[in-house]
């Protein structure tokens, strides 16, 4: 009798303890997430050491978080990069290598980063560009979005798209505005009339409306993607005397394998003059400053609404951007300028606020990082690594290389994907091979040659380094098969 009563008491006590434990978990406050993306923004920012570009608000965010000095995209093109980040899977897994194929065609049941937050009980919404949109053509539409990733989605369109595109100075008229050396200084419109100003306004409205419950709000800005159209005041921040192009010569092309410079054709600068290229570089800087001002509006709203103590803020760009390095413009290369991206993560009351991490990280790491910070159950097959150890200690031991890839050649069919360029970055080296080495190899010593001007791949003194770098590529591309050639089905359709 006494023994039975003791057992019952123990069982009741355990039940109360377990219920209290569950209640404690339920009552634990959840971090909100403000997820801010820029389109085609490189690391020409004040907080990254640029002495010309005006970026006071992104710099301000860097003082609230950890700035990752060496963060890399997995593919130097919008849709493949964004699909990789938002699924937590590398391009060889998503099979996204272009701007048409949607990852759900091959991975219909994949749980995306925002879906994980929906499953976790969050309000989840998108404003602007998060998955791929033809920019500027798809502004105001859902583009190549993923409907099930959001509870709500908003697609603002401003005067830069609806009223001004016919007035743009396009130095490459045969190229569409989304891939053109083209700009316009808007003398009459203000921030709130432009698309990215409207993105910020809508995102702020959502912050105000959903401030009292856990949220994941994604604000995707369309600039500094071309055409570079901004209010005139942002152009006025820069004088042409400040704008200098990297040095190149007629011999530059002979220094690299042909595929390395194939992203800019005609080379250099898509055939525009150096002075015209300088005008475009000034316009690109103006577009960065315009986006920076909208980021500032978001930060001000977070502070005004009392959200700073429970909101994680993440800032990232989908890939880097060339502004004349090696004679290149835009993206789609495997050089440092195209592969490297800005990433800042600010966690409330973090002890490391304002610190910089020089560890190599990847955009594919953001998904597991946010799952870790929010205490959510992430899919088991994510291919990135949580950066929480680096948020706690930015100089913590870290030995993970960064991988970037791109495609060359191919035709209009999904079955004609051409050949790949695969690149791996370690602390000291960047190694790139084209068509698995058949169309060229590159090796750069980042310690002595950060601008990647001297290709060491064919130097016998570095044969062991090349061998080691090849083995790193083998780890991430074990089958060494041209991406997607045998797996894509042109009959598959994705309905958004």
Q: What is the 3-state secondary structure (H, E, C) of the chain?
A: CHHHHHHHHHHHHHHHHHHHHHHHHHHCCCCEEEEEEECCCCCCCHHHCCCCCCCHHHHHHHHHCEEEEEEECCECCHHHHHHHHHHCCCHHHHCCCCCCCCHHHCCCCCCCHHHHHHHCCCEEEEEECCCECCCCCCCCCCCECCHHHCCEEECCCCHHHHCCHHHCEECCCCCCHHHCCEEEEECCCCHHHCHHHHHHHHHHHHHHHCCCCCEEEEEECCCCCCCEEEEHHHHCCCCHHHCCCCCCCCCHHHHCCHHHHCCCCCCCHHHCCHHHHHHHHHHHHHHHHHHHHHHHHHHHHHHHCCCCCCEEEEEEECCCCEECHHHCEECCCCCHHHHEEEEEEECCCCCCCCCEEEEEEEHHHHHHHHHHHHCCCCCCCCCCCCCHHHHHCCCCCCCCCEEEEEEECCCCCCCCCCEEEEEEECCCEEEEEEHHHCCCEEEEECCCCCCCCCCCCCCHHHHHHHHHHHHHHHHHCCCCCCCCCCCCCCCCCCCC
Active-site residue flag, 78: yes
Active-site residue flag, 226: no
Q: Which of 78, 226, 280, 334 is catalytic?
A: 78
Q: Which of 102, 132, 225, 422 is catalytic?
A: 132
Catalytic positions are: 78, 132
């Amino acid at each position: 009798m006494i023994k039975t009563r003791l057992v019952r008491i123990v069982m009741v006590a355990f039940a109360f303890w377990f219920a209290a434990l569950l209640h404690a978990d339920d009552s634990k406050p959840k971090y909100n997430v403000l997820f801010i993306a820029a389109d085609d923004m490189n690391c020409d920012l004040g907080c990254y050491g640029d002495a010309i570009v005006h970026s006071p608000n992104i710099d301000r965010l860097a003082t609230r978080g950890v700035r990752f000095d060496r963060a890399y995209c997995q593919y130097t093109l919008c849709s493949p990069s964004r699909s990789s980040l938002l699924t937590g899977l590398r391009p060889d897994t998503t099979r996204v290598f272009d701007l048409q194929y949607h990852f759900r065609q091959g991975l219909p049941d994949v749980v995306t980063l925002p879906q994980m937050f929906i499953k976790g009980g969050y309000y989840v919404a998108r404003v602007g560009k998060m998955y791929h949109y033809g920019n500027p053509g798809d502004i105001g539409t859902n583009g190549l979005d993923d409907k099930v990733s959001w509870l709500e989605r908003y697609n603002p369109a401003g005067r830069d798209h609806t009223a001004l595109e016919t007035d743009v100075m396009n130095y490459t008229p045969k190229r569409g505005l989304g891939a053109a050396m083209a700009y316009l200084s808007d003398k009459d419109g203000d921030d709130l009339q432009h698309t990215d100003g409207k993105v910020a306004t809508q995102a702020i409205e959502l912050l105000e409306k959903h401030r009292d419950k856990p949220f994941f709000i994604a604000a995707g800005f369309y600039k500094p993607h071309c055409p570079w159209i901004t209010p005139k005041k942002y152009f006025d921040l820069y004088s042409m005397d400040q704008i200098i192009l990297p040095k190149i010569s007629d011999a530059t092309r002979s220094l690299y394998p042909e595929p390395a410079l194939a992203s800019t054709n005609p080379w250099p600068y898509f055939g525009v003059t150096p002075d015209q290229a300088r005008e475009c570089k000034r316009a690109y800087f103006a577009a960065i400053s315009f986006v920076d001002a909208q980021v500032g509006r978001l930060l001000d709203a977070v502070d005004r609404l009392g959200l700073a103590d429970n909101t994680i803020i993440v800032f990232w760009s989908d890939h880097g951007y060339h502004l004349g390095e090696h004679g290149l413009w835009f993206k789609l290369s495997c050089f440092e300028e195209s592969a490297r991206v800005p990433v800042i993560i600010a966690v409330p009351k973090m002890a490391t606020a304002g610190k910089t991490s020089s560890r190599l990280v990847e955009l594919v790491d953001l998904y597991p990082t946010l799952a870790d910070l929010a205490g959510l159950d992430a899919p088991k097959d994510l291919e990135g690594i949580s950066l929480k150890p680096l948020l706690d200690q930015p100089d913590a031991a870290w030995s993970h290389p960064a991988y970037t890839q791109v495609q060359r050649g191919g035709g209009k069919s999904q079955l004609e994907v051409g050949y790949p360029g695969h690149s791996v970055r370690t602390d000291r080296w960047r190694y790139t091979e084209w068509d698995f080495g058949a169309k060229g190899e590159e090796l750069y010593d980042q310690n002595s040659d950060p601008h990647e001007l001297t290709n060491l791949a064919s130097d016998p003194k570095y044969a062991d380094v090349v061998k080691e770098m090849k083995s790193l590529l083998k780890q991430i591309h074990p089958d060494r098969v041209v991406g997607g050639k045998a797996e894509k089905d042109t009959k598959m359709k994705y309905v958004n």
